[in-house]
C-alpha cells in the first residue's frame, strides 16, 4: 500500500512539470531595426519600403510580411517580391528583394488586311512607358480574336510576341493570320408560327450560299445586325406584328470547312388589325380632307374601318409624313387590337 502511494505522487509531479513549461508564452519577435531593399533600380528604395507598409521598430508577424508582399505586387511595378530576415549584431534586419517589371514600349499589329487597323487598335489597352501589364497583353490578344470571330473569321489566329529592347522596354507585336470569312450555309429561324422560316429569311439581307455565283453566302456581321434590328421588325410590322423582336442570335461555325449556321430565335407577338379610327382637335381642316390621308380603307360615321387588313406601320408612317398640307402632322392614331 505504501509503494502504490509513492508511485502516484511521482506520476502527478512528472505531469505537472511539462504543463508549466507549455503554458509559457512564446518570446515576441524582435523589432525591426532597419529595412534593406535589393534589386530596385527604377523605383527608389524609399518608395519600395513605403509601399510594403513595414515600419521601423515594428514587431512583424507572418501576416505583416504577407501583406507587404501583396501590397508590392498590387503596385504593378514588380515581377517578383521576396521578404527575408537577417540578424546583424543581434538586430533584426528586413530585406525586401524585388525584380522590377520592365516598361511597356511600342506595340504593332501585322497580318491584317480584311479588318481595319483602327478597329483592332480599339481592342488594345497598352500604355507606353508604364510597367508592362502582361494580363492586358493577353487580354488584347483575346479581344482581337473575338473581333475576328464577330466579323466571321472563325479560322483566324492571333499570336503575341514580347521582345526586350536595348532601352530596357518591351516591344509587343500581334501577328494575325486572318484566313477566310465563314460562309453561311443555313439560316435557322426558331419560334416562328405565323410564317415559315423560308419566308422570314427571304426578307433578310443575310442569305445562305446558293447555286449562282452571286449567292456567295459570305457572313457579314453588319448585315445580320441590320436584319435583326431593322429589316425583320419592319417587315413584321407591315403585316400587323408590331411587337416582333429577335430574342436570340448565334452562329455555329465549323472553321475546318469554313461553313456556319446562323440561329435566330424570334418572338412574333400577336397580329394587330385596325378596329376604330377617330379624329380630335382638327380646326383648320375638315374631317373629309384629313380622311384622305387615312391608309386603311373607308371609315364609317361610327369610326369603324371597312377594311380588315392587318395594321401596317410603314403605311401609317407614310401617311403621317405626307408633305401636303405643309403644317399637317399625323392625323391621329388608330385604336389597334390583336386579330382574333
Question: How does DSSP classify residue 103?
Answer: B
Q: Which of residues 112 and 283 earns the better pLDDT score?
A: 112
Tens digits of residue pLDDT in 185-201: 889 999 999 999 999 99
Question: CA 246 to CA 232: how far, in whole Å?
Answer: 9
**205 in Cβ contact with 170 (< 8 Å):** no
Local confidence band at 19 (pLDDT 50, 70, 90 cut-offs): very low
Using DSSP, state whether 301 is helix, strand or coil.
Answer: coil
Q: Among 3.30.590.10, 3.10.20.310, 3.30.56.10, 3.40.190.10, what is the CATH number of 32-100?
A: 3.10.20.310
Instruction: For residue 186, give the H/E element and its range.
Output: strand 183-190
**262 in Cβ contact with 246 (< 8 Å):** no
pLDDT of residue 340: 54
CATH of domain 183-267: 3.10.20.310
Q: What pTM was computed for the model?
A: 0.61
pLDDT of residue 8: 40
Asked if 104-177 and 183-267 have one fold, the answer is yes
List the chain domain ranges.
Answer: 32-100, 104-177, 183-267, 271-340
Average pLDDT on 111-140 reads 95
Give the torsion through C-alpha atoms of 23, 24, 26, 31, to 10 deg: 140
Average pLDDT on 114-135 reads 94
**Does pLDDT of 7 surpass 70?**
no
CATH of domain 104-177: 3.10.20.310
Amino acid at each position: 500500500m505504501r509503494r502504490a502511494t509513492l508511485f502516484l505522487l511521482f506520476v502527478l509531479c512528472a505531469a505537472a512539470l511539462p504543463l508549466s513549461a507549455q503554458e509559457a508564452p512564446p518570446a515576441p519577435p524582435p523589432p525591426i531595426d532597419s529595412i534593406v531593399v535589393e534589386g530596385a533600380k527604377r523605383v527608389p528604395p524609399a518608395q519600395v519600403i513605403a509601399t510594403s507598409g513595414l515600419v521601423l521598430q515594428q514587431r512583424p508577424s507572418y501576416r505583416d510580411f504577407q501583406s507587404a508582399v501583396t501590397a508590392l505586387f498590387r503596385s504593378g511595378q514588380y515581377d517578383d517580391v521576396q521578404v527575408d530576415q537577417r540578424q546583424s549584431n543581434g538586430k533584426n534586419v528586413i530585406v525586401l528583394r524585388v525584380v522590377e517589371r520592365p516598361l511597356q514600349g511600342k506595340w504593332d499589329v501585322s497580318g491584317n488586311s480584311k479588318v481595319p487597323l483602327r478597329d483592332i487598335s480599339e481592342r488594345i489597352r497598352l500604355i507606353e512607358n508604364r510597367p508592362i501589364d502582361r494580363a492586358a497583353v493577353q487580354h488584347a490578344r483575346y479581344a482581337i480574336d473575338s473581333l475576328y470571330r464577330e466579323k466571321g473569321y472563325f479560322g483566324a489566329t492571333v499570336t503575341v510576341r514580347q521582345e526586350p529592347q536595348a532601352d530596357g522596354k518591351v516591344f509587343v507585336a500581334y501577328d494575325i493570320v486572318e484566313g477566310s470569312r465563314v460562309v453561311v450555309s443555313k439560316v435557322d429561324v426558331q419560334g416562328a408560327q405565323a410564317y415559315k422560316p423560308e419566308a422570314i429569311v427571304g426578307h433578310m439581307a443575310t442569305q445562305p450560299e446558293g447555286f449562282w455565283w452571286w449567292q456567295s453566302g459570305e457572313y457579314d456581321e453588319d448585315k445580320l445586325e441590320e436584319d435583326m434590328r431593322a429589316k425583320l421588325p419592319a417587315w413584321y410590322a407591315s403585316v400587323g406584328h408590331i411587337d416582333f423582336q429577335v430574342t436570340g442570335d448565334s452562329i455555329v461555325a465549323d472553321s475546318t470547312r469554313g461553313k456556319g449556321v446562323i440561329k435566330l430565335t424570334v418572338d412574333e407577338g400577336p397580329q394587330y388589325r385596325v378596329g376604330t379610327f377617330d379624329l380630335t382637335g382638327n380646326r383648320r381642316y375638315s374631317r373629309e380632307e384629313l380622311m384622305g390621308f387615312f391608309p386603311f380603307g373607308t371609315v364609317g360615321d361610327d369610326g369603324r374601318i371597312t377594311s380588315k387588313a392587318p395594321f401596317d406601320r410603314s403605311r401609317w408612317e407614310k401617311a403621317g409624313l405626307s408633305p401636303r398640307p405643309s403644317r399637317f402632322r399625323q392625323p391621329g392614331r388608330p385604336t389597334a387590337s390583336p386579330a382574333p
